[in-house]
Amino acid sequence: MSNLLNPIADILTSETTYLNGALFAAFLAFAATGEWVAERAGTINISIEAMLLNGAFAALLGYNYSGSIIIGLITAVLGAMLVAGIQAEMSHRLFADQFVVGLTLNILVLGLSGFLNNQISPRATLAGRWDVPLLSEIPLVGTALFAQRWPFYLLYPLIPFSWWLVHRSRWGLEARSVGENPHAADLTGINVNKRRRQSIYYAGFTCGLGGAFILFAHVGRFENTIIGGRGFIALAAVIFGGWTLRGSILGCTIFAAALSFRLSIQGLGYNLNSELLQSLPFLLTIVVMAVFAKRVRAPAGLARPFIRHTK
């Protein structure tokens, strides 16, 4: 028993565990927050991977040509919203299958960003670290939550703003209505597909921030594998959370814990099967999808295209 408890104790008392966990959770939360808004409006963004990756690559180009992380942040948002625009217009104006569009965009951006990165060879950097006085000194979690590179702190206002947008604004009321009953919403004069397109643009906005975050606050260099399927983990976190924001953030935290566990146990020198550790977060994602997909209530109009019939 002690052979099992010792590694667990080492992992739980290591600041690196919490630091890695916070970085992974923040990245997933940037993506999941926008995805939650979009899914409440009845859309599923399979292109979330492409949004994140294009956001990271656009951030790279913005910084490479300007030398400014702020410019890189702006170009990241624009790059991700470009993908969001294609997804939105194809799915909710031309009524192409949103899953096919999303998968196509994921493959396209993966190949295109890798090709352009090899051709241009742009440079990136890490943003400066900001320590919050007193809070950064809290044992174990202080460094993880309050001594991070500054793009990390964009998440703190983003989460409450997204909650306010969906639950307290007129736009959010209309977006939720088109996600639950688009035909009834249409009868009240709401432009269903317009609200759905707007929700996808918002997902592009948050994914752009997530792409910039992973480049400037986590990795500091670009590879076309920088996202590595974690966009789908963020999507699974929304399902895990029962299409609530706090549940989605909790899901991000749990999935991030699995990612952090994989790195921490290797960093502490314990020998476990590397392939098993590599697949652990994705195995957890599959289990969560299987268990929770039927136990939580999705928006009634989720993934159902709306075509207005007129006489």
Averaged pLDDT for residues 283-288: 75
- CA gap 239, 84 in Å, rounded: 20
Q: What is the mean pLDDT of the chain?
A: 89
Question: Structural domain of residue 90, as residue ranges?
Answer: 2-292
E strands, the chain, where? 129-131, 147-149
- The pairing of beta strand 147-149 with beta strand 129-131: antiparallel
On the question of pLDDT at 310 being above 60, the answer is no
How does pLDDT run across 211-227, given as a tens digit for each residue?
999 999 999 999 989 99
Give a yes or no: residue 39 inside a domain. yes
Query: Residue 223 maps to which CATH number?
Result: 1.10.3470
pLDDT of residue 275: 64
How does pLDDT run across 52-83, given as a tens digit for each residue?
999 999 999 999 999 999 999 999 999 999 99
Residues 6+ apart with CB under 8 A from 46: 98, 99, 101, 102, 103, 106, 235
Give a yes or no: residue 222 inside a domain. yes
If 0-12 CB within 10 Å is exposed, 13-18 middle and 19+ buried, where does residue 181 land?
Answer: middle
How does pLDDT run across 90-146, given as a tens digit for each residue?
999 998 999 999 999 999 999 999 999 999 999 999 999 999 998 999 988 899 999
Give a yes or no: residue 309 inside a domain. no
Query: In the chain, how many domains are there?
Result: 1
Give a yes or no: residue 304 inside a domain. no
Give a yes or no: residue 68 inside a domain. yes
Give a yes or no: residue 301 inside a domain. no
Give a yes or no: residue 147 inside a domain. yes
150 secondary structure, DSSP code: G
Give a yes or no: residue 66 inside a domain. yes
